[in-house]
């Protein structure tokens, strides 16, 4: 593991690390890295400060720093175990190499102080946040006045009286409105979620007024050569026994290739399965059966279900 | 230099980390990237990365950017080695066989 520190440092990295060391969270990371085995300390501090850069919220940054404090202890103990045989072989003291510097506080004290500080920060945030609301809901000071002779403004006699206009409105009602027969058979097309064939003709408005010709539409779906669902069943989901059904929407051209990124129409409730279904949908590009209108394949969007089921 | 022992104790978190790398075995991921994909806290994540690197499953290197011009610190990037790829495949394969046999 010593070879990790043998790489040369590019210019500017030390300055960047120094500037990002300001504040409580970078200080915590600095303290955590100082307690790591000496050959790893500098690397871990720079790596953690770089990864801290991606965290935006204060709580997330604080949690990250506390996690680094925790990680230091594990890394230090495992480093001792890994380095012991090699150091013993060359007669060196492992613990001198691996034992972290005493630092400002012992490790456990630092952890306790960090946890206490974290709780105090939460309490402070709650108090500051709720303070305004408590003041808002507090009862205002009441002042009681007794009005002995309330003065009313005199009525003006010179103003004209308002004129009320009565008007009657009539709404013409057609005597014989022509409505379609209620039992008339209609075909309204829709993209089936299960990829089954469904026929229809035009939009509902076109069918109602009879202006559009009948078009036979067949929805597309996964076709020949479509990848096997089991190949995209996430291994971790199998391990955890996660099962579910994901509905994926895809848009394909007449050749069955995707024309847009597949989207999630209905979640299974398990993000890992959702991601697996989307990967399957992407991998199936070129193996979709395109939707047809009057037998001719057309550009279309449809959805289909992916079942992730574990074998008994 | 410590001799590399390729055996690694497998846990659910370790499997999650491996799964994040197996999505694109050629990709180089930082600790922050792995956190985003696997949602493992930093206190668990970094010991796993160091453990897998010490075992020879991962290799790591600094990101080749100029921090002053990029305006951010350089990241430590991890990548699966050929040994790691092979062993990770064996782990998931044996796991699937034992569970779904």
Asked if A239's CB is within 8 angstroms of B15's CB, the reply is: yes
Rounded Cα distance, A29 and A64, in Å: 9
The pLDDT, as a whole number, for residue A94 is: 39
The pLDDT, as a whole number, for residue A272 is: 87
> Token pair of A240, please?
């955890």
Asked if residues A288 and A222 have their Cβ atoms less than 8 Å apart, the reply is yes
Q: What is the crossing angle of helices A24-34 and A58-89, to 10°? A: 10
* Residues of chain A neighbouring B64 (CB-CB closer than 8 A): 10
Asked if residues A32 and A71 have their Cβ atoms less than 8 Å apart, the reply is yes
The pLDDT, as a whole number, for residue B81 is: 93
- Least confident among A266-275, A277-286, B2-11, B31-40: B2-11
* Residues of chain A neighbouring B49 (CB-CB closer than 8 A): none
- Backbone φ and ψ for B79, nearest 5 degrees, come out as -145, 145
Handedness of CA A110, A112, A116, A119 (dihedral sign): positive
The pLDDT, as a whole number, for residue A165 is: 74
3-state DSSP percent of chain A in helix, strand and coil, to 5? 45, 10, 45
The pLDDT, as a whole number, for residue A159 is: 77
For residue A14, give how far its alpha carbon lies from the nearest alpha carbon of chain B (Å). 9
The pLDDT, as a whole number, for residue A181 is: 52
In this structure, what DSSP letter does residue A249 have?
Answer: E
For residue B82, give how far its alpha carbon lies from the nearest alpha carbon of chain A (Å). 19
Q: What is the pLDDT of residues B45-60, one digit of tens each?
A: 999 999 999 999 999 9
The pLDDT, as a whole number, for residue A162 is: 72
* Residues of chain A neighbouring B1 (CB-CB closer than 8 A): 1-3, 86
Handedness of CA B64, B70, B71, B75 (dihedral sign): negative
Handedness of CA A195, A200, A205, A211 (dihedral sign): positive
Rounded Cα distance, B94 and B101, in Å: 10
pLDDT bracket for residue B62 (50, 70, 90):
very high
For B76-98, what is the mean pLDDT?
85
The pLDDT, as a whole number, for residue A262 is: 93
Q: What is the mean pLDDT of each run of 10 residues along chain A (312 residues)?
A: 40 45 82 88 90 87 90 84 53 40 61 91 84 62 69 74 72 63 44 42 49 73 88 83 90 91 91 90 90 88 89 70
Q: Which of A12, A16, A71 sits opposite B43 (nearest CB)?
A: A71
- pLDDT for B28 beyond 80: yes
Q: Which of B42, B62, B96 sits opposite A7 (nearest CB)?
A: B62
């Amino acid at each position: 593991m010593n070879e990790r520190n043998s790489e040369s440092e590019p210019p500017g990295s030390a300055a960047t690390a120094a500037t990002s060391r300001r504040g409580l969270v970078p200080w915590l990371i600095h303290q955590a890295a100082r307690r790591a085995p000496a050959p790893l300390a500098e690397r871990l501090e720079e790596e953690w400060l770089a990864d801290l850069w991606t965290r935006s919220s204060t709580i997330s940054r604080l949690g990250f720093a506390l996690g680094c404090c925790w990680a230091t202890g594990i890394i230090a103990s495992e480093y001792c175990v890994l380095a012991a045989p090699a150091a013993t072989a060359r007669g060196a003291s492992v613990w001198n190499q691996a034992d972290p510097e005493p630092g400002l506080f012992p490790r456990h004290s630092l952890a306790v102080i960090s946890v206490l500080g974290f709780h105090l920060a939460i309490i402070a945030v709650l108090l500051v946040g709720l303070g305004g609301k408590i003041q808002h809901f507090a009862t205002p000071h009441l002042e009681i006045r007794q009005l002995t002779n309330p003065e009313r403004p005199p009525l003006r006699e010179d103003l004209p009286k308002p004129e009320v206009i009565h008007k009657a409105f009539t709404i013409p009602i057609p005597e014989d409105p022509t409505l379609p027969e209620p039992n008339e058979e209609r075909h309204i097309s829709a993209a089936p979620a299960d990829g089954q064939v469904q026929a229809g003709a035009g939009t509902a408005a076109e069918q109602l007024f009879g202006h559009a010709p009948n078009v036979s539409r067949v929805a597309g779906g996964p076709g020949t050569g479509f990848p096997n669902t089991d190949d995209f069943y996430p291994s971790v989901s199998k391990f955890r026994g996660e099962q579910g059904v994901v509905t994926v929407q895809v848009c394909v051209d007449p050749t069955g290739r995707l024309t847009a990124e597949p989207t999630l129409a209905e979640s299974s409730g398990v993000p890992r399965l959702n991601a697996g279904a989307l990967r399957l949908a992407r991998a199936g590009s070129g193996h979709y059966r395109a939707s047809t209108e009057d037998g001719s394949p057309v550009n279309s969007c449809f959805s289909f279900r992916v079942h992730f089921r574990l074998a008994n | 230099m410590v001799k590399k022992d390729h055996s690694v104790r497998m846990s659910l978190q370790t499997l999650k980390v491996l799964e994040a790398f197996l999505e694109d075995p050629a990709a180089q991921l930082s600790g922050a990237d792995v956190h985003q994909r696997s949602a493992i806290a930093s206190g668990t994540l970094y010991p796993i990365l160091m453990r897998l690197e010490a075992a020879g499953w991962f290799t790591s290197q600094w990101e080749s950017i100029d921090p002053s011009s990029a305006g951010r610190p350089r990241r430590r990037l991890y990548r699966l080695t050929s040994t790691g790829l092979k062993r990770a495949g064996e782990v998931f394969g044996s796991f699937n066989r034992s569970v779904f046999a």
